[in-house]
Amino acid sequence: MMGAVVPKQLECQVWPPLNSSPTPCNAGVSAKASMTDGRSTSRGKRKIREQCENRRRHPSDGRRPNQPQNGEVVEAVTLFEVVIMGKSAMQSVVDDWIEAYKSDRDVALLDLINFFIQCSGCQGMVTAEMFQSSQNCDVMQKMTETFDEDDKDYPLVKAGPYWKKFRTNFCDFTSVLVQQCQFSILYDNYLMDTIISLLSGLAESMVRAFRHTSTLAAMKLLTALVNLIVSIDVSKHNLERLYEVEKSRPTGKRTNTRLDQLEKKKKEYEQKHLDIENMMNAIFKGTFLQRYRDIIPEIRAICIEEIACWMTTYPDRFLTDSYLKYIGWMLYDKQPDVRLKCLQGLQGIFGQKALGCKMDLFTCRFKDRLVSMTLDRDHEVAVQAMKLLMLMSQNYEDALSSEDCETLYQFVYATHRPLAVAAGEFLYNRYLSVTIFFYLALGWLHNSRACLRALIDFFLESELHSHVTYLVDSLWDWAPSLLKDWEYMTALLLGNADSHEQALTDAHERVLIEIILATVREAAEFHPPVGRGGTRRILSSREKKIQVEDCTRITEHFIVVLPQLLAKYSVDTEKVTNLLHIPQYFDLELCSAELLDKHLDTFLSEIKAVVNKHSYTDVLNACARVYATLCGEDGSGHKKVGLARDELVDELVHTLNQCLDTFWDEVGVNAHDLTRWNLYDTLAKLLGFEVEQNALPVQVTVTKLWTRKYFASSTPAFMILCDLLMIVSHQGLSDGLIECVEYLPSSSLQSKLLFFVEDHVFAEEPKEFRGQQQQKLDALQQKRCLLAAYCKLIVHNVVEMTAAAEIYKHYMRTYNDFGDIIKETLSRTRQNDKIQSAKTLILCLQQVCNSINSIDSSFNNIKELARRFALTFGWDQVKSRESVAMIHKDGIEFAFQGIGALEGKSLPPNLNFLLILSEFSNKLLKPDKRLSLWLSLKPGEREALTLQASGSSAQPSGARRQASLGSRGSRRAARTPGGQAALLDLPEAGAA
């Protein structure tokens, strides 16, 4: 096997070929067995024996400190102990080992072999006798026997800073070993042959630790050889230039001795190059080709990481299609860590323009895969894929098509911020920078202005999204000067821009206002928008300084410009709403007093004008928020703002009173039907006002609200009624300002509420909505709101908990639409009352079971519903014991209901319910299973079982068994219409 991996010139003469048997002992043992040519001295053998015996007597995990013996400190005696303690520099450690190798290479090699074995976590050591043995299989078998495979932790995978440092030292040792040996023993045809054979053999072992450790060592060894051969090539190239210079000299000045020396040195470099090439081939074929598809993802990641390093370091040899294919294949690996190493390796390659000419075939073959990896379920893989594609686009213009770029641009709207930021960089460098030249050609002389126009066009063209906030956040790190150019943005809106620039359309103005609002929010809050950021991080002093400067700019600029914008767009609801959100980011304390006094009155007057013009809720809420922001939460804001607010409210109240007086004079509320006037909104507001002021009896208010024909069929009325019931129930307010009487809805009102939910939530969708996606989504959202409002009443005990049984019936059929709401209701009710919640579940199953007559597909659906209910109890049987026991108690009583009237002539009609109940049986504790069995017995059977239990000690075992069989035989299996028997015993019930 080894002969097929290692070339003939690298076959170590002291290592016989491996057996072809596939047993674990010979899968990687060939590098450990016969390792001597008879040159080991007795001193070396004695030293190794002492080390092994000492290690057997005092086993440790490899981190053994120096122990004082007889007043002296005993230093570490093995190479493994020196490296794992990490107290010495790797170069000095390797130099000491090289000196030991030169004095006695067999002893030094034995120490090096034991180093690799011990780094794998193996407690065994190769002794001098094993070193001289020719039975390789026996040696490896002993190593495998001493390896504790049950302990999955070995040095390379152990956690903690100490073992992380050991891994670094291990890799450094392998690299420094090649570096320090290049001038002496690297080419002696003994050292490297032995190491390569050892690592190749260990890499084929069935033991994970052996494969992992040897693969890492072999890959680092090959990386060191690659660096060495590159330096040799550089030296050889310099030597050839020197040789040509020396040769080009005139005959009188040229010396043949110098030429001969250069020629000899050149041949020496060529020989070294050939030797290293052979070593590289042996490691690549013996380790990489065997392990890059290993079942362990860490081993695969090591192989891919190192081959990418070889390609960037030595592209003439490794940057070919025959090696690139391995990275391309592993792009499809199931483990994200392996895919991530592939992408990071390709970033190093595509980041160098000089290497692009060799990547044409790879790009053609795997470009689609790279583009699709931006949708990878692992966020880090998706981010690195986006960065790789950006490098490809920057360095190789034809690498990505326009369709690929259009796909990648849309990731600026992704919810994962690192991916969106990477896509923002791609958009800025690829799209905006290119579009700038187009607008500059039209006469737009300012780069930022051209870029802003390009940004607006991009947003309008991406019709799938309407999240300007996400777009701004994606570009915030790459174009801060553009996005903070509020002076130019507002000048463009007011028409004060350069005359030769094209005027904005209505759509452009709308998007630009949204961009202004998003940039102001980002600058003032210094935090990503909702949906993209986690907890707010603590800002650094530099970031706080930038934030204060931006807030000052925002306040001083928009306190002047915003009144003009409000005056221009006062009739446009959407635009004026967005503009009114800007003042909430003002900080009047940062604004100069002179500027504030000069423009604040104008600003407040424009807000007042907006309030008088509009009746839309969004606009009025925005105006109210402006007053609240400028007044301050504690009223410490500017005095002018408070006076303006009070004046505006006085005028609105006066106007309201006049309108109400006129309205009540014209329409009699008690004598006429007001339905055709569509007064719902007005009445709802008045009703809320009356309830808050406690002017009407709550019972009258609630009853009248729902008994009105118009309200009884209105979805908004249902929502108001649910909120009102929440307020006036026993969960009501009692804060000294509002005293609500306790009121719980009557049974008839609860029935009407339930019927409304059945008709408007769980009914089939109208035919006109079928095929219309937007209408279906709107209707679904409305249904979810209705169901959530009703379930809230159940959770807070406003409506009886048994009403939830009617909701639980639809759990399976409507799982995709309402499953989360129903599960949350079930969880909350269980927290409130475990017993009542369990009774509600069993009531639901009983009602559904009564609706069918036989075991058919509907019965299987009920069993599946019961199984879903059982899963909600989790794995903690003690926590759910009371609920599950109650389910079995009520379920068994329901199953044997009416058995007394039948007098044994036929089976109980609900006996099949036991099959449904069995879905909960695995949640029962053993004592409760016995109780369930007791409940399932007839009264006569219970007495017999009691007598049997009391006299069981005096009966022989055969009699007890017969009595038990007799009592159990009375419970016959129910026969289904299909002729199959249904097992009635609960699991482990016979153990009673």
Q: Give 179-225 pLDDT, tens digit per residue.
A: 999 888 999 888 998 899 889 888 888 888 989 999 999 999 999 99
In a domain, 38, yes or no: no
In a domain, 853, yes or no: yes
In a domain, 936, yes or no: yes
Provide the domain count of the chain: 1
Burial string for 827-857 (b: 16+ CB within 10 Å, else e) reads eebbeeebebbbbbbbbbbbebbeeeeebee
pLDDT score recorded for residue 314: 95
**Measured at the alpha carbon of residue 356, what is the angle toward residues 355 and 357, in degrees to the nearest 5?**
95
pLDDT score recorded for residue 149: 59
Q: What are the helix and strand counts (H, E) for the chain?
A: 47, 4
pLDDT score recorded for residue 132: 63
Residues 800, 745: contact at Cβ < 8 Å? no
pLDDT score recorded for residue 3: 34
Distance of CA 616 to the CA centre of its chain: 40
pLDDT score recorded for residue 847: 86
Residue 812 makes CB contacts below 8 A (sequence gap 6+) with 861, 864, 865, 868
**What domain range is 834 assigned to?**
773-942
In a domain, 682, yes or no: no
Burial string for 607-629 (b: 16+ CB within 10 Å, else e) reads bbebbeebeeeebbebbeebbeb
In a domain, 544, yes or no: no
> 849: which strand partners?
none
DSSP state of 974: E
- Backbone phi and psi for residue 734, each to the nearest 5 degrees, phi listed first: -155, 65
DSSP state of 6: S
pLDDT score recorded for residue 905: 66
> Tokens standing for 123?
């407690």
> What are the percentages of helix, strand and coil residues in the chain, rounded to 5?
70, 0, 30
In a domain, 846, yes or no: yes
pLDDT score recorded for residue 740: 46
The pLDDT tens digits of the residues spanning 262-301 come to 888 989 999 999 999 999 999 999 999 999 999 999 999 9
Secondary structure of 321-352 in HEC code, one letter for each residue: HHHHHHHHHHCCCCCHHHHHHHHHHHHHHHCC
**Measured at the alpha carbon of residue 899, what is the angle toward residues 983 and 856, in degrees to the nearest 5?**
45
Residue positions counted in the chain: 992
Instruction: Count other Cβ atoms within 10 Å, centred on residue 47.
Output: 17
- CA torsion sign, 95 to 97 to 100 to 106? negative
pLDDT score recorded for residue 78: 79
pLDDT score recorded for residue 58: 45
For 5, counting Cβ atoms within 10 Å of its Cβ (0-12 exposed, 13-18 middle, 19+ buried), the class is buried
d(Cα 360, Cα 715) in Å, to the nearest integer? 62
Residue stretches of the chain with pLDDT short of 70 = 1-77, 87, 128, 131-141, 144, 148-152, 252-254, 435-448, 464, 497-502, 534, 592, 633-637, 663-714, 730-743, 765-772, 853-857, 900-905, 930-992
pLDDT score recorded for residue 9: 33
Q: Which of helix, strand or coil describes residue 975?
A: strand
Residues 409, 462: contact at Cβ < 8 Å? yes
pLDDT score recorded for residue 962: 37
pLDDT score recorded for residue 558: 93
pLDDT score recorded for residue 23: 30
DSSP of 182-236: TTTTTTSSSHHHHHHHHHHHHHT-SSHHHHHHHHHHHHHHHHHHHHHHHHHHHHH
Residues 575, 569: contact at Cβ < 8 Å? yes
d(Cα 215, Cα 213) in Å, to the nearest integer? 5
In a domain, 43, yes or no: no
In a domain, 801, yes or no: yes
Distance of CA 809 to the CA centre of its chain: 34
Q: pTM to 2 decimals? A: 0.65
Q: Radius of gyration over alpha carbons of the chain, in Å? A: 41
Residues 220, 178: contact at Cβ < 8 Å? no
d(Cα 451, Cα 453) in Å, to the nearest integer? 5
Distance of CA 899 to the CA centre of its chain: 56
Nearest to 750 by CA among 717, 731, 725: 725
**Measured at the alpha carbon of residue 985, what is the angle toward residues 984 and 990, in degrees to the nearest 5?**
160
Residues 866, 921: contact at Cβ < 8 Å? no
d(Cα 283, Cα 318) in Å, to the nearest integer? 14
**Measured at the alpha carbon of residue 733, what is the angle toward residues 728 and 736, in degrees to the nearest 5?**
130
Instruction: Count other Cβ atoms within 10 Å, centred on residue 57.
Output: 7
Residues 407, 389: contact at Cβ < 8 Å? no
Question: Which amino acid, residue 369?
Answer: R
d(Cα 591, Cα 608) in Å, to the nearest integer? 22
d(Cα 674, Cα 769) in Å, to the nearest integer? 31
In the Cβ-directed half-sphere of 19, how many Cα atoms lie within 13 Å? Answer: 18
DSSP state of 973: P
